[in-house]
């Protein structure tokens, strides 16, 4: 089932008509194509979390409409109509280990599929499969989730969302608070899952390296407004614009800029990932690095 | 739901806002005591005047006070009905088994209603004009004499301050976990009673776990910054007793004296 997500002039206001009124989304029109790996970036308070909560109907737009697959969400959409949508859009919230509550790991992972109508036995089969997918050993499954380490708890929580077998997987800073190794493993895992299960992935992140390495579509929010939408190479092509909006380049890009400044060499396209940076420098050296001025 | 408990403090700079929280706390209790002295309509008019006067001095929108009564209206009506149907005396209009509708019953019902509303108005005035932490401070100061009989005053007031401080945090946490569990297919507030009770478990367990974790973190953070109990600690907010506080107390005492006189009209 195609699950393109289309926002049409969506506004969202918190506590309207009170002194605490606050517009969190301001006239947002954007499309998240099916099968894309979309990165959502922006500062704290830019409306990312509000945006996310619209993706499975936790919030409904104050005005405008959202198309997710067949479902249209407007301000009048009833809660009851959203159950079906929540099955298809899995959201991994920030620090998702806070949502664990069951007695055993396996029960916690099987919680969502059971809620969405799977039988006990079916849910357990899915839960075992997903536990394997996220790299949780068999011996952990009968333990209490509260006995596990932070990284393991995170994996349990993520497996709990994957067990819904969603078509759209939304990840809100899934690697926050993990060590570098855990971070890399987790990002690779999402990439593999996306490819194997043909997911649409929406990733909220502050790590520009992750944007450059994994995403093929970038949405930039600032104070509730959409200020840019394009591929990572489009978004990162104007360093001045990035500075103006307090965004950073991926590390490889920063290195490349410093390299250009120091050597006077101009890259044909600014490398954004370590791999492409290494390739470009390698081919440069190969062609005759003698042209590079060592200054 | 974020606005039930704490959104009630409305900042301002009226005389009532600037009063010492201790004075406000004492006067609120004092008012609740003297209201039981009232026994005829004249005395209720007197207390109503005092309440309205205090509210006007605080310059707070009257709508807040009506909102304060609303959640308790069923309790009030229940009590009033008990008074009306179970007290006897005076002309009896109607009788059925143990119930009777009498003149005294009606009068008593009206008095009980006034009493409730006035007490709610006055305590709403206290919470509207005094920040929660100020109330905690005032309680600590007022309980100081109890230290002599080994009441752990500092600890009680610390517990109170921490509890107040973490109400908004807990609310945020609740909203977050509700969102997460909703995304996993929990429908809060839907279905029959058994389903509703069951849906609370995935909310309460994570809340307890995170509260315990937070308590430990907080204790560590406090000890790391040298907290060694309240003995000898100075206060960030220092309260001074102003003439306006004395005047306020004087007004209430005068009202009480008039009340004692009006009682035997």
What's the average pLDDT block by block, 10 residues per block, for chain B (265 residues)? 54 88 93 90 92 91 83 89 80 76 86 92 90 87 90 88 87 93 88 85 94 93 88 81 90 92 81
CA B170 to chain A, closest CA, distance in angstroms equals: 13
Q: How many structural domains is chain A composed of?
A: 1
**ipTM value > 0.90:** no
Q: How many residues does chain B have?
A: 265
Residues of A in contact with B170 (CB under 8 A): none
Please state, in angstroms and rounded to a whole number, the distance separating the CA atoms of residues A90 and B150. 55
Query: Is A192 domain-assigned?
Result: no
Whether A160 and B184 lie within 8 Å, measured CB to CB: yes
CA distance A16 to chain B (A): 14
Does residue A256 belong to any structural domain of this protein? yes
The verdict on residue A15 lying in a domain is no
Mutate to test the interface with A, among B9, B61, B169, B184 (most CBs of A within 10 A): B184
Q: What count of other Cβ atoms lies within 10 Å of the Cβ of residue A88?
A: 20
Those residues whose C-beta lies under 8 Å from the C-beta of residue B239, and which sit 6 or more positions away, are B20, B21, B22, B134, B137, B138, B141
Distance, in Å, from the CA atom of A1 to the CA atom of B67, rounded to the nearest integer, reads 49
CB contact under 8 A, A86 and B183: yes
Q: How far apart are CA A276 and CA A272, in angstroms?
A: 7
pLDDT score of B78: 92
Condensed to tens digits (0 to 9), the pLDDT of residues A209-223 reads 999 999 999 999 999
Residue A277, domain extent: 251-289
User: Do residue B185 and residue A160 have CB atoms under 8 angstroms apart?
Assistant: no
CA-based nearest residue in chain B for residue A164: B184
Contacts of B215 (CB under 8 A, 6+ apart): none
- For residue A206, tell me if it sits in a domain: no
**What does the pLDDT read at residue B97?**
74
Nearest CA in chain A to B181: A99
The CA-based angle B48-B5-B3, given to 5 degrees, is 105
B179/A53 touch (CB, cutoff 8 Å), yes or no: yes
DSSP secondary structure of B121-184: HHHHHHHHHS-HHHHHHHHHHHHGGGGGGT--HHHHHHHHHHHHHHHHHHHHHHHHHHHHHHHT
Of B185, B187, B206, the CB nearest to A99: B206
pLDDT at B4 (0 to 100): 46
Interface with chain A: mutation pick from B8, B176, B180, B203, highest number of A CBs within 10 Å: B180
Cβ-count burial of B160 within 10 angstroms (0-12 exposed, 13-18 middle, 19+ buried)? middle
**Chain B residues within 8 A of A161 when measuring between CB atoms:** 183-184
Residue A277 lies in a domain: yes
Chain B residue numbers touching A115 (CB-CB < 8 A) = 184-186
Residue A93 with chain B: CB contacts under 8 Å: 176, 179-180, 183
pLDDT at B161: 86
Interval A85-143: pLDDT, tens: 899 999 999 999 999 999 999 999 999 999 999 999 999 999 999 999 999 999 999 99
pLDDT at A288: 63
Shortest CA distance from B198: residue in chain A = A115
Q: What is the largest CA-CA distance in chain B?
A: 72
Low-confidence ranges of chain A (pLDDT < 50): 294-295
**pLDDT value, residue B232:** 78
CB contacts of B205 in chain A (<8 Å) are 101
pTM score of the predicted model:
0.78
pLDDT of residue A21: 82
Cβ of A101 and B185 within 8 Å?
no
Q: How far apart are CA B125 and CA B68, in angstroms?
A: 10
Q: Which residue has the tokens 């921490």?
A: B162
pLDDT of residue A291: 52
């Amino acid at each position: 089932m195609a699950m393109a997500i289309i926002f049409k002039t969506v506004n969202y206001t918190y506590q309207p008509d009170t002194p605490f009124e606050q517009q969190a989304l301001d006239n947002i029109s954007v499309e998240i194509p099916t099968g894309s790996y979309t990165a959502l970036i922006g500062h704290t308070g830019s409306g990312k979390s509000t945006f996310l909560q619209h993706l499975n109907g936790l919030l409904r737009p104050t005005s405008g409409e959202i198309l997710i697959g067949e479902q249209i969400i407007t301000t009048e959409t009833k809660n009851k109509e959203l159950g079906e949508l929540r099955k298809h859009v899995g959201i991994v919230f920030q620090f998702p280990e806070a949502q664990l509550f069951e007695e055993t790991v396996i029960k916690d992972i099987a919680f969502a599929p059971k809620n969405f109508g799977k039988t006990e036995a079916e849910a357990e089969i899915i839960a075992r499969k997903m536990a394997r997918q996220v790299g949780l050993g068999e011996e952990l499954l009968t333990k209490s989730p509260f006995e596990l380490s932070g990284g393991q708890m995170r994996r349990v929580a993520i497996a709990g969302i994957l067990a819904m077998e969603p078509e759209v997987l939304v990840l809100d800073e899934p690697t926050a608070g993990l060590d570098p190794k855990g971070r890399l493993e987790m990002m690779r895992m999402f990439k593999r899952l996306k490819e194997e299960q043909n997911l649409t992935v929406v990733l909220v992140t502050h790590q520009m390296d992750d944007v450059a390495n994994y995403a093929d579509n970038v949405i930039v929010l600032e104070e509730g407004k959409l200020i840019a939408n394009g591929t990572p190479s489009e978004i990162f092509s104007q360093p001045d614009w990035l500075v103006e909006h307090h965004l950073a380049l991926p590390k490889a890009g920063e290195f490349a800029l410093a390299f250009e400044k120091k050597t006077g060499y101009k890259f044909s396209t600014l490398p954004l990932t370590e791999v492409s940076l290494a390739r470009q420098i390698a081919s440069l050296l190969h062609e005759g690095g003698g042209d590079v001025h060592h200054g | 739901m974020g606005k039930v408990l704490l959104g009630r403090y409305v900042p301002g700079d009226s005389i009532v806002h600037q009063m010492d929280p201790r004075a406000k706390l004492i006067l609120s209790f004092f008012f609740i005591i003297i209201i039981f002295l009232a026994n005829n309509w004249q005395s209720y008019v007197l207390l109503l005047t005092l309440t309205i006067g205090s509210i006007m001095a605080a310059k707070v929108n009257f709508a807040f006070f009506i909102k304060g009564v609303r959640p308790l209206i069923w309790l009030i009506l229940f009590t009033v009905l008990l008074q009306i149907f179970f007290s006897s005396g005076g002309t009896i209009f109607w009788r059925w088994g143990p119930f009777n509708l009498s003149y005294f019953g009606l009068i008593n019902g009206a008095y009980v209603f006034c009493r409730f509303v006035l007490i709610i108005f006055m305590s709403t005035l206290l919470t509207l004009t005094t920040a929660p932490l100020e109330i905690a401070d005032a309680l600590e100061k007022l309980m100081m004499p109890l230290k002599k009989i080994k009441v752990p005053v500092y600890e009680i007031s610390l517990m109170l301050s921490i509890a107040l401080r973490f109400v908004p945090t807990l609310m945020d946490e609740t909203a977050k976990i509700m969102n997460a569990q909703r995304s996993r297919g929990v429908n809060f507030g839907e279905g029959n009673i058994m389903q509703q009770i069951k849906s609370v478990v995935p909310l309460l367990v994570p809340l307890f776990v995170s509260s315990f974790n937070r308590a430990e973190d907080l204790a560590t953070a406090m000890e790391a910054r040298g907290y060694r109990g309240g003995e000898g600690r100075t206060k960030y907010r220092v309260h001074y007793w102003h003439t306006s506080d004395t005047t306020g107390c004087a007004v209430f005492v005068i009202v009480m004296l008039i009340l004692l006189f009006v009682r035997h009209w």
